[in-house]
Amino acid sequence: MDIITASLVLAALGVIAWGFYRARPLGKLGILAWSQSVVLLAPWLLSFSFIAAGITINLASILLLLIFSIGLYIFLGNRLRAANQEAVPPQQSSATNSSQKNHEATSLAEDGAVESPGSEIATVIEPELASIPVADLKVIQGIFGLDTFFTTETIPYQEGVIFKGNLRQEPEVAYSHLSKSLKEQLDDQYRLFLVENQDGKPVVIVLPSRNDPTPATLAQRVLAGLFLLATIFTCLESAALLQRFDILEAPERFGEAVPIALAILSILGIHEVSHRVLAHRHQVRLGPPFLIPAWQIGSFGAITQFESQVPNRRALFDVALAGPAASGVLSGGFLIVGLLLSGTSSLFQIPAPFFQGSILVGSLARVVLGSAMQQPLVAVHPLVVVGWLGLVITALNLMPAGRLDGGRVVQAIYGRKVAGRATVITLIVLGIASLANPLALYWAVVILFIQRELERPSLEELSEPDDARAALGLLALFLMAATLLPLTPGLAARLGIG
């Protein structure tokens, strides 16, 4: 095992040990949460360690270990929620607790927080200081109650108001009740957000609906169409260059480039269609995709904006991951089928060191092609090239930064604070990587100037995605890293690649 590989393994073990040290003071809840992290990391750490030690493991064993890990992760998540409920007794029902709530309201009234002993609203600003009309503000105040969200303070915020207070229901239930009441009273004039403030406490924000994301203009849609045409051309040009000719210099060979170009476009297409299928399911509108043409691989993916508010973090996760999941499965299918169809008479002859450019692709190629990877040139089916390009396109869009798919996935699982830190770390890593790879510098510029901002908060921001979604998201991020990170020379030598 070379020094770099050994360092990576030791670093992973160090992170696990540090996590256990931090989890112990939290008791059972901390240990369960730490166990989830270990279970999710274990299959990859074991697989990487075996490969680094020169021990060959087949693909079926890796998949079986992964499935078992995800199942155990979900089981531990259920135990964690049950332990949390045992640690924090559930609130009493409104029928048995009404006297206590009345006492709380009376106490707040005596402190000057509410206008009268029977009031359910606490207001500490004058209505004329709010941007919302006085009549509308009073109607909005009337939707709150002791059984949903008991307000203690009202603060002007941008064109709306923030209501501080105490959440008295599960976030989903409270939000559903409040948003339904607001719509019944004032139709679609306002949007209600249930989010956390900087102190980590639930607050309600009400903003005019004119602040909703705006639909794409005609000019923007025309521009998206032009980018689509440019991407079709770059896919054709990339397909031609892969076959060692330039379509501009040899237009008569146009037909030879079409199959590979169509395969790349199919990966881009299923990516965008999957986004829209899940967006439609969650009643979210998406703008037109702005495809990014690229000479090297046909396209770097697309930039797609939300044209409506996202209802919750689960919806954000589903819409964000749907595209990479679909394009990743299709690309992986192309890659594996292509490897199985590869032989000495295959069309493409790829230098074996090229396979060192991706941990995932290099490892799969070694498992399927075996000793052929030790030859100077490796004969592969065209689908191998298409699948590889598709995985790279998918992985680039899964980087955990800003409004890229990966950034949205991180924001959905861990929240905006962690997503912001992930964006900064990604930019730093890309900056360092750009010293060796100009492509990294390109993506650092794209993220910094176009995609660095986080996605808007969901309407109901408090409810986290379930454990299954979290596991899928972390799996997607791992595969992204495994696709983009190269094999170290020592590890490639142990695998017999190049």
Alpha-carbon dihedral 395, 396, 400, 402, rounded to 10 degrees: -150
Domain for residue 92, yes or no? no
Q: Where does a domain end: 87, 115, 148?
A: 87
* Domain identity same for 341 and 401: yes
pLDDT tens-digit series, residues 289-320: 999 888 778 888 888 999 999 999 999 999 99
Please name the residue that has the structure tokens 């139709």: 187
* Domain identity same for 380 and 304: yes
Phi-psi category of residue 165: left, alpha or beta, with phi > 0 → left and psi -120 to 50 → alpha: left
Domain coverage including residue 43: 3-87
* Domain identity same for 228 and 317: yes
Q: Within a 10 A sphere around the Cβ of 422, how many other Cβ atoms?
A: 22
* Domain identity same for 296 and 193: no
Per-residue pLDDT tens digits of the chain, which is 498 residues long? 455 556 666 766 777 787 787 777 877 777 877 787 777 667 766 766 666 666 665 555 666 776 777 778 777 777 776 776 665 444 433 333 433 333 433 333 333 333 333 333 344 444 444 577 888 888 888 888 888 888 888 888 878 888 988 888 888 888 999 999 999 888 888 889 998 887 778 888 998 888 888 888 899 999 999 999 999 999 999 888 888 888 888 888 888 889 999 999 999 999 999 999 999 999 999 999 999 888 778 888 888 999 999 999 999 999 999 999 999 999 999 999 998 888 777 778 888 888 888 888 888 888 888 878 788 888 888 899 899 999 999 998 898 888 899 999 999 988 888 888 888 888 888 877 777 776 777 777 777 777 778 888 899 988 888 878 888 888 888 888 888 888 777 777 777 776
Collapsing DSSP to helix, strand or coil, 214 comes out as coil
* Domain identity same for 17 and 36: yes
DSSP codes of every residue in 456-494? PPPSB-SSPP-HHHHHHHHHHHHHHHHHHSPPPHHHHHH
- Give the model's pLDDT for residue 332: 92
* Domain identity same for 227 and 177: no
* Domain identity same for 38 and 114: no
- Looking at beta carbons, which pairs linking 449-452 to residues 24 or more positions away fall under 8 Å? 450/303, 451/303, 451/401, 451/402, 451/403, 451/404, 451/407, 452/401, 452/402, 452/423, 452/427
Output the pTM of the full model. 0.74
- CA 178-180-185 angle, 5° bins: 95
pLDDT tens-digit series, residues 13-43: 777 787 787 777 877 777 877 787 777 667 7
pLDDT tens-digit series, residues 443-497: 777 777 777 788 888 999 888 888 788 888 888 888 888 888 887 777 777 777 7
Give the total number of structural domains in the chain: 3
For residue 18 the two structure tokens come to 């540090």
What's phi and psi for 461, nearest 5 deg? -95, -5
* Domain identity same for 133 and 232: no
* Domain identity same for 120 and 206: yes
Phi-psi category of residue 486: left, alpha or beta, with phi > 0 → left and psi -120 to 50 → alpha: beta
pLDDT, averaged across the chain: 79
